Chains A and B, each alone.
Chain A
């Protein structure tokens, strides 16, 4: 299987998203989705990257990624060992059929006008895909997806495994408002 999900802890420093994206681009690794946000540690951000690795070894990708100075830790999030979720927001026509689709998939209608409803769904990839499949394509006015986020099952954390070696280089809190993804 060529699809892999990596959880990547990075220093919350300016340019870090560009470094990761530049690496993937120049080495020809395909990103299916990339989600990034703050973590429990203000110095650290977490990326969840879904990769389509046709012709590249995962170990090689991880090793190249780990060469980036701002990358602190990497872990593969396997289906069997992790929680994986996506968010879907989709705007469709306001009619009974679409409301029934939302209800069938236990999705929430978060916004409603006389002509449209906005459906909000959180779930695993296959659940999101199933919901989308039930909506008639010509009725979808607009949709947005978050990309996958993943968390390891059980008590162990990626941060515990990798941050124990984290040094104290950034005594002053890096200015997180300048990180790319928050701009």
Chain B
């Protein structure tokens, strides 16, 4: 076996793990690894901030289903990865972070650029490693990729001391990974499958409550089968947009704080929730004690700890959702063949809500540009093959509401952690993973100012993403809450960003094309101009009306029964519906 140093062993291990691209920035402690990277077939993309590397890895992973990889040095390089690691972990995205650590003899001495990144990231990763012996590098890398990508996917960090990268070792990549304490259950119990099928066949008001796990498990096809076998209406959470086509007649839209009236109300009135890869998050349930009060719960998830965490499950299906649905679909078909309840009254009711309370928005009366209209038009013009990413806030909610998603992995956002600044670096990662696909980052002016430096990375590395800055000169979602709950006292939400910075000039300074749109009649042609540019990144500064709000809304901590469709306006129900 040939001798090599730990750094070469690391790069060999990453190649053996199937890595084709990684995002990172070198520095002192990781420097030995960058020497073999120079000769490796792995593409390394030099980002401008480690946070960008982490979100790019996440965007890559969400777009492709493969493990995303980021790499940074010790100390500040590593701590800059904490936000994207927490972000990926919360949204169950498989990423592996490699960090350099100070030499093992210096660990614990408060050495230059020393941070206990294993300790720091313990609560925000699925697992992590500190490697001080070069012989341990290949196994740690193999385990990291195995842990990140199997079971409930997540973030794994491998911290490697500089001397372990420098010392001589031999390379021996393990063929199999076997971990005493990690054996994810992937096949559901057959008895539970039959119980679930029986429950479905008894229910008169069922809803398919679909979460991001369906996308993670590549189970959209199987979900479609279940929906069509049963005829049950479907809601897709923020993490599941695209898991079921928006154009499908059974789709009610997104549930939750800014969900559609039909989706929110269907969950509230249901007698059964068929929960697939969703986790009863507070943004979906509202006040938990009043959520779906009459519903029995079928809860299918790969993570046993999600079962019963927030809501008791009447039937628990633990396993990979693809396997679960492959078992559940025929079982449900058989159960329905024996006795199928008439869902017609329920379907009439829920589809009635959908047609009576569609998503909508008012055009600003002052002739300014409507942010919802911009986003809706980008969706229409770019089409359902586009990958959309978003930051966090109003623009994110509008992008989830007014773009029609037809396919999995076309909507990438930070759902769990709610990380402002996610959109641009995630779009970069998605475009690297899917270079032939149009990638639009729908961003806010607040978010954009957190991570836009990665546009330099995009410009230099030929990653031609498109960015729509929905510029309302404010931290719009916070401003909306101040409007609704703080007597319009706009404390520190005015960004004054109409021209400072000038996003068009900023884009050009970073090697992108900069466009601006200030009038409603220019929206389409500006989007079309952006669509024509494929050799460089393009940034469009959409100056939009600043008082537009996200509706419907269930205020934080209140019941989903108290959904409002506009300010102080509850849906007007027919009497028999109440």
Question: A residues bordering B, Cβ < 8 Å?
Answer: 10-11, 14-15, 18-19, 22-23, 26, 43, 57, 59-60, 63-64, 66-72, 163, 165-170, 172
Contacts and interface: CB of A to CB of B under 8 A. Distances in A.
B62 to A, nearest CB: 22
Given A165-B183, A166-B180, A69 B130 contact: no
Given A166-B180, A168-B178, A15 B305 contact: no
Contact of B308 (A14, A22, A59, A163): A59
A60 B309 contact: yes
B303 A169 contact: no
A14 B104 CA distance: 14
A169 B305 contact: no
Contact of B122 (A19, A59, A60): A19
Contacts of A59: 308
Contacts of B308: 57, 59-60
B305 A71 contact: no
Contacts of B305: 60, 63-64, 66-67
Given A60-B305, A168-B178, 11 more contacts: A18-B119, A22-B122, A23-B123, A60-B309, A63-B304, A66-B304, A66-B305, A69-B126, A72-B180, A163-B180, A169-B177
B135 interface: yes
11 contacts: A15-B119, A26-B123, A60-B305, A63-B304, A66-B304, A67-B303, A68-B181, A69-B181, A72-B180, A167-B180, A169-B177
A70 B122 CA distance: 12
B222 interface: no
Interface of B: 118-119, 122-123, 126-127, 130, 135, 139, 143, 147, 177-183, 303-305, 307-309
Contacts of B309: 60
Contacts of A19: 122
Contacts of B122: 15, 18-19, 22
Nearest to A163: B180
A60 B308 CA distance: 7
Given A60-B309, A63-B304, A169-B139, A11 B123 contact: no
Contacts of A165: 180, 183
Contacts of A70: 181
B155 to A, nearest CB: 13
Closest 7 CB pairs of A and B: A167-B178, A63-B305, A166-B180, A69-B127, A72-B181, A69-B182, A72-B180
Main secondary structure of the interface of B (DSSP, over half): mixed
B180 A172 contact: no
A179 to B, nearest CB: 13
A22 B180 contact: no
Given A69-B182, A169-B139, A15 B177 contact: no
B118 A169 contact: no
A63 B181 contact: no
A151 B183 CA distance: 25
A63 B307 contact: yes
Nearest to B118: A15
Contacts of B182: 69
Contacts of B130: 14-15
Nearest to B135: A172
Contacts of B127: 68-69
Nearest to B312: A57
Contact of A169 (B126, B135, B143, B304): B143
Contacts of A69: 126-127, 147, 179, 181-182
Contacts of A71: 181
Contacts of A10: 181
Nearest to B126: A69
Contacts of B118: 15
Contacts of B123: 22-23, 26
A11 B180 CA distance: 8
Contacts of B135: 172
Contacts of B119: 15, 18
Contacts of B180: 11, 43, 72, 163, 165-167, 169-170
A171 B97 CA distance: 25
A170 to B, nearest CB: 8
A19 B126 CA distance: 11
A165 B304 CA distance: 18
B298 to A, nearest CB: 18
A6 to B, nearest CB: 15
B374 to A, nearest CB: 40
Nearest to B310: A60
Nearest to A68: B181
Nearest to A166: B180
Nearest to A25: B123
Nearest to A172: B135
Contacts of A26: 123
A47 B147 CA distance: 24
Contacts of A167: 178-180
A18 B305 CA distance: 20
A64 B119 CA distance: 19
A69 to B, nearest CB: 4
Contacts of B139: 169
Contacts of A170: 180
A155 B445 CA distance: 66
A14 B127 CA distance: 13
Nearest to A174: B136
Nearest to B151: A67
A60 B119 CA distance: 24
Nearest to A67: B305
- Count chain A CB atoms within 10 A of each CB in B126, B182, B303 and give the residue with the most: B182
B307 A169 contact: no
Nearest to B182: A69
Contacts of B179: 69, 167, 169
A168 B178 CA distance: 6
Contacts of B304: 63, 66
A15 B130 CA distance: 9
A72 B183 CA distance: 10
A43 B181 CA distance: 12
A72 B178 CA distance: 12
A19 B271 CA distance: 40
A167 B304 CA distance: 21
Nearest to B124: A26
B26 to A, nearest CB: 26
A66 to B, nearest CB: 7
- Count chain A CB atoms within 10 A of each CB in B177, B181, B307 and give the residue with the most: B181
A23 B126 CA distance: 11
Contacts of B147: 69
Contacts of B303: 67
- Count chain B CB atoms within 10 A of each CB in A59, A64, A169 and give the residue with the most: A169
A15 B107 CA distance: 14
Contacts of B178: 167-169
B159 to A, nearest CB: 11
Nearest to A19: B122
